[in-house]
Structure 1
Amino acid sequence: MATGHNLAYASFTIYQDTEPPEFWTNYFGVSPSRAGVKGQFRPMPSGAMSSTPWRQGIWSFSSADAVISDDLTPHLRYLIERLQLPRVDLGGLIARTGGSMRFFCYWDNESGDRVTDVPEDIRTMMEAMGGTVEVDEYR
């Protein structure tokens, strides 16, 4: 089934209101795919500004435009490599800011026969840093 887009992608996202997005950009050494500060209006894909502001601060880095695969593992490994995860101090930084972090995984399963492939070592790594792995399946 040719869809013109990946049937899977992943993003690493931090939610917190203490540090500005630039803090996380400097920390990871990569520009975010999305970032915003609580209370600021969100830019829409059209270039217009949304009528509702961010409900909380966000910094997110996605594999969607960098990895061509319908499986999650290459997307997650890409994020781990680019963000140099795991990081010993990351869990403490997240705790200090009162924030949370997660791998968000998009999983297109319209056919109903695809099985997600999040490796156990990645789940274990995220849990050890205080984060989660979430798969959002679309049918």
Structure 2
Amino acid sequence: MKPHQLAHATFVIYQDIEPPEFWTKYFGVSPSRAGMKGQPRTMPSGRVSAFPWRQGIWSVSSKEAVTSDDLAPHLRYLAGLLNLPRPDLRELVVRTNAQMRFFCYWDNATGDRIPDVPESIRTMMEEMGGTIEIDEYR
């Protein structure tokens, strides 16, 4: 059993124009989670939710692939896996009216940890039209 990690990251695209298979083919990576608006939503537990997907989602996580309590290795792993930056991705985000982000889990129970998001990753996401969000737990 893996120890509890204090950080991990997920790359997420939310949009309702293209099916999840479009993003799987585009990135050449199988998603951690994917679904189309209105389709049944399978929860991480394997149960099917009573509520369908409210919008389309395609995401891939670093949680199982990277062992680190720092964000930088998780973000760099995802950037490498997805071959980011991609020159045409911003155009696809605009065309599909998508929202794109790195969603970061950050456990800060001690209150003294500072998230380590490399400036190069911040700049890359901004140039591609995405955001970086940190969900901090205390």
Structure 1 length-normalised TM = 0.96
Cα distance, 1:67 vs. partner?
0.1
**2:129 — aligned with what?**
130
1:117 matches 2:116: yes
Cα distance, 1:8 vs. partner?
0.1
Q: What secondary structure does 2:76 align onto?
A: helix
Give distance in 2, aligned partners of 1:101 and 1:17. 13
Spell out the pairing of 1:1-139 with structure 2 (5 A cutoff).
4-139=3-138
How many residues of Structure 1 are paired with residues of Structure 2 in the alignment? Answer: 137
Give distance in 2, aligned partners of 1:119 and 1:10. 13
Give distance in 1, aligned partners of 2:90 and 2:121. 15
**Percent identical across equivalent pairs?**
71
Give distance in 2, aligned partners of 1:100 and 1:28. 16
Cα-Cα RMSD:
1.0
Cα distance, 1:4 vs. partner?
2.2
Structure 2 length-normalised TM = 0.97
Which amino acid in 2 is paired with 1:73? A
User: Which protein has the bigger strand share?
Assistant: 1
Gaps in structure 1 of 5+ consecutive residues: none
Cα distance, 1:60 vs. partner?
0.2
